[in-house]
Structure 1
Amino acid sequence: MSGVKDGTQGVPRVRHARVEDLPEVARLAAEHAEYEKAAPPAADLAQRLAGPLFGGDGPPRLYCLVAESADGKLVGYATCAPEFSTWEGRAYLHMDCLFLRSGQRGHGLGPLLVEAVVAQARTLGLDEVQWQTPVWNEGAIRFYERLGATGKEKLRYALKVE
């Protein structure tokens, strides 16, 4: 897949997550939530992700790409899923999360993760990726703008369904 490096031992790379990666992806998600000053994810997140990523009949509902450091440790992830824009009358790929552990940023893995998400969009026949970041996350905003992305001002709301 274009955007996913085939690296060998000693070379940082991005690849699709495997089932055995899910406990570490859940730990990364917990670090991501802490970084964004959000509530921690569900304790059983790894199990909750398994179905949308690997189960079911038909295509996955969620795609997860993981970043490996040169020593083979998972140090980041990106997740994405197809969505539909009513206003534009077309589908796009929504990147829900992109996170690299502190100390892993600035070494080229962030662009590799974004390239892999873009490659996933191409594979799905989609011509746009959309995402959001907190307005206070100036480092992420600079990173995305260096990639050529443009921001759209909006507030995100959530409403619990009980």
Structure 2
Amino acid sequence: MRHARPADLPVVVALVAEHAAYERAAPPAAALGHRLALLLFETPSPRLRCLVAESPDGEVVGYATCVPEISTWDGAEYLHMDCLFLRDSTRGRGLGALLMDAVVAEARGLGLTEVQWQTPSWNEGAIRFYARRPGVRCQDKVRYTLPVGPRITG
């Protein structure tokens, strides 16, 4: 497990596309590599963090992305894990647990005391995986998305 480097972007973008297909979502935007490069590497203090899982031969086979967020109810920051994905052929080998451990270490390194994430309600494999983590609490919520068009000036 390690932080993504600029040279990893093509494979991370491919993994994101596989992840979107797995979750029955629309494919990523055509400019995703450029957008991720800006978020991960082009600012003095990047907001988005990307951890990658490598196979024993050094191939990047999975990723986790996370970003510090704020809980109004708690009045505290936490680390939001946006994605965790491994290629199907690499699942069941402990890489997912290592990625989760790396995300937890990232939170600790930022001085944060909690990690939050979500998964589709139909993804029983992910639910079983996450439920096995010591101390994990599940909260039932429904996620909404509202596209906002460009700002109109005039």
Q: TM-score, normalised by structure 2?
A: 0.94
**Residues 44-83 of structure 1, C-alpha deviation per residue, up to 9 Å, x if partnerless?**
21111011111113x2110000011111111100000000
Give the corresponding residue for 2:8. Answer: 21
Q: Aligned partner of 2:38: which letter?
A: G
Give the corresponding residue for 1:53. Answer: 40
- The higher-RCO structure (CA 8 Å, 6+ apart) is 1
Give the corresponding residue for 1:4. Answer: none
User: Aligned partners of 2:108, 2:81: CA distance in 1, in Å?
Assistant: 14
User: Aligned partners of 1:68, 1:81: CA distance in 2, in Å?
Assistant: 21
In structure 1, the gaps of 5 or more residues are 1-13
| Pairing 1:87–2:87 present | no
In structure 2, the gaps of 5 or more residues are 150-154
| Pairing 1:41–2:46 present | no
**Residues 119-156 of structure 1, C-alpha deviation per residue, up to 9 Å, x if partnerless?**
00011100000000000000000000111222100000
Map 1:1-150 onto structure 2 (within 5 A).
Answer: 14-57=1-44, 59-148=45-134, 149-150=136-137
> RMSD between aligned alpha carbons?
0.7
Matched residue SS, 1:103:
helix
1:103 is displaced (CA, Å) by 1.3
User: Aligned partners of 1:99, 1:150: CA distance in 2, in Å?
Assistant: 20
How many pairs were matched up?
A: 148
User: Aligned partners of 2:36, 2:56: CA distance in 1, in Å?
Assistant: 26
Q: TM-score, normalised by structure 1?
A: 0.90
* Aligned-pair identity (%): 66
User: Aligned partners of 2:85, 2:109: CA distance in 1, in Å?
Assistant: 22
